A and B are shown apart, each in its own frame.
Chain A
């Protein structure tokens, strides 16, 4: 099951540059939350802070409180590897391991996390591919085809399956459909909608219609600050802040 995320006073830096300014956000469990805003507003930085991916960039660091379920992400002694197992991430460009088979792509994370039982791995691979709505398309070629042989949309669903295999609680998606055609995009969107039954999903998107279609909650970032965070239908029909309205109606950004 998914867990909620509590963010309090989160600041993120690139060197001395303050890229996120004291962000507070409460992301409810088993919901899809979208993060929107113009380029450079800090939305990707924000989600990368949730699983401590931000600090993997040289000279980047973050401070503040991020609680995922009962885990203090920035607590002393919290293991970043465990954090990233609980909080999966899917990126803009599908990044399957190109030479591995479809099966091995999904099993890779399990093996890294110490799974040795082949039957168990096989079950988890099947479950993950079913959850990511790819199973029917690849079940006959699991070991024969490589990850790179799939179409872009299939590759992205493969990456989602790979993230789901280690049974995370939260799935972060950074522009997961922006490199895909409309049909693949709608499959991914439908998938996101299904996934929230089992996971908490946070999705960064440039595409406001996509946020409107998939997310129950939407946060608008501008110049490192969270300007407005509310129900998606409120944000897109009657936003409270003039800056949100100007952005979503295309008057700037």
Chain B
């Protein structure tokens, strides 16, 4: 078994994952656009796009399994494949969360527009940047970029907490807005979950590049 064939397999795996990342980013952008424009067309695009993401997830898992079985990779190659498998699962969940957002937007636009004091597009922008940067760190194998992603997660968490407070206030003070406020609350939660997936992706990149486990707040190197 030649190494170049193995290297080709690793390159193919990387390309497939980046393509999958592109689909997940597109789903977030379309869901955000649907919220911003209140246009059901974008929601439909997210819903139909999910199949493609699921298909990509299966292909990546299959290829990763083949490489593990046929090539018995070690060290950095083994860490790479393990990172890809985990990132793959996170990206598929990102796609699911985009679907959740699209479904909330469909419900929102079935009713007259309400003015709610939450800046979802701004939050979506931060979340989208996190996913982009996490994928960039994977593309370049740069742990420093991944570390920057970890820092951004706190900001998104805070945005979601603020949204929760003001939306609950609004629901309590004005019952008419409850349905819309709940939808927006669920959207902010979906965005926060996507940020968590971006964080996981960044942690997996750090594990691949440096061999360090930085999950759960700390750098754990094998002793």
Contact = CB atoms under 8 A, between A and B. Distances in A.
A237 B79 contact: yes
A238 B222 contact: yes
A15 to B, nearest CB: 35
Contacts of B78: 236-237
Interface stretch (A57-65, A89-97, A104-112, A242-250): A242-250
Contacts of B221: 238
Interface size class on chain A is 10 to 19
B75 A249 contact: yes
A238 B3 contact: no
Nearest to B79: A237
Given A238-B79, A238-B211, A249 B222 contact: no
A244 B3 CA distance: 17
Nearest to A234: B222
A173 B74 CA distance: 24
B204 to A, nearest CB: 14
Contact of A250 (B3, B211, B222, B223): B3
A237 B3 contact: no
Interface in B87-101: none
A245 B210 CA distance: 12
Residue of B6, B72, B73, B76 ringed by the most chain A CB atoms within 10 A:
B76
Contacts of B3: 250-251
Contacts of A69: none
B29 interface: no
Given A233-B222, A250-B3, A251-B3, A238 B72 contact: no
A209 B78 CA distance: 13
Residue of B79, B221, B222, B223 ringed by the most chain A CB atoms within 10 A:
B222
Main secondary structure of the interface of A (DSSP, over half): helix
Contacts of A248: 74-75
Contact of A237 (B6, B72, B222, B223): B222
A28 interface: no
B2 to A, nearest CB: 9
Contacts of B72: 209
Contact of B75 (A209, A231, A239): A239
A93 to B, nearest CB: 25
Nearest to B71: A250
Interface string A23-66: 00000000000000000000000000000000000000000000
A231 B222 CA distance: 10
B77 A249 contact: yes
Contacts of B79: 237-238
B217 to A, nearest CB: 20
Nearest to B221: A238
Contact of B76 (A209, A212, A233, A245): A245
A144 to B, nearest CB: 42
B73 to A, nearest CB: 7
Given A250-B3, A250-B6, A251-B3, A236 B222 contact: no
Given A237-B78, A238-B79, A239-B75, 14 more contacts: A208-B74, A234-B222, A234-B223, A236-B74, A236-B75, A236-B78, A237-B75, A237-B211, A238-B75, A238-B221, A245-B76, A249-B75, A249-B77, A250-B6
Interface of A: 208-209, 212, 231, 233-234, 236-239, 244-245, 248-251
4 tightest A-B CB contacts, nearest first: A238-B211, A248-B74, A245-B75, A234-B222
